[in-house]
Structure formats: structure tokens, C-alpha cells
């Protein structure tokens, strides 16, 4: 991954989170955190 692609992805993610905060009000960061927690617990089952 080049620096240009990494910066573009960072900007895209930041814009999505900003849009969620300002207009959508879907609690996207909390949803992502919960899904990540569930995924980690799923992976720990296979350990």
C-alpha cells in the first residue's frame, strides 16, 4: 500500500465518521466497536 492510498483511506474513513456524527446519527463508532468485540470473541473460540 502506498502512502497516497493510505492517506486517501484515512480521509475517507474520517469523512464517513464525520458524516455520521453531523447528519446520520447512527452511532457508527459504537457499532464498529461492538462488531469488533463480537469478532474477537468469535476468533477466540477457535483458539
What's the pTM value of the predicted model, to 2 decimals?
0.73
SS3 46: coil
Local confidence band at 46 (pLDDT 50, 70, 90 cut-offs): confident
- 17, 29 in Cβ contact below 8 A? yes
d(Cα 1, Cα 3) in Å, to the nearest integer? 7
The C-alpha cell 447512527 sits at 26
pLDDT at 19: 95
Give the tens place of pLDDT for each residue, 2-22: 999 999 999 999 999 999 999
Amino acid at each position: 500500500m502506498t502512502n497516497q492510498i493510505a492517506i486517501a483511506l484515512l480521509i475517507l474513513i474520517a469523512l464517513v465518521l464525520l458524516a455520521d456524527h453531523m447528519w446520520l446519527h447512527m452511532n457508527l463508532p459504537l457499532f464498529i466497536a461492538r462488531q469488533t468485540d463480537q469478532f474477537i470473541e468469535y476468533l477466540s473460540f477457535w483458539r
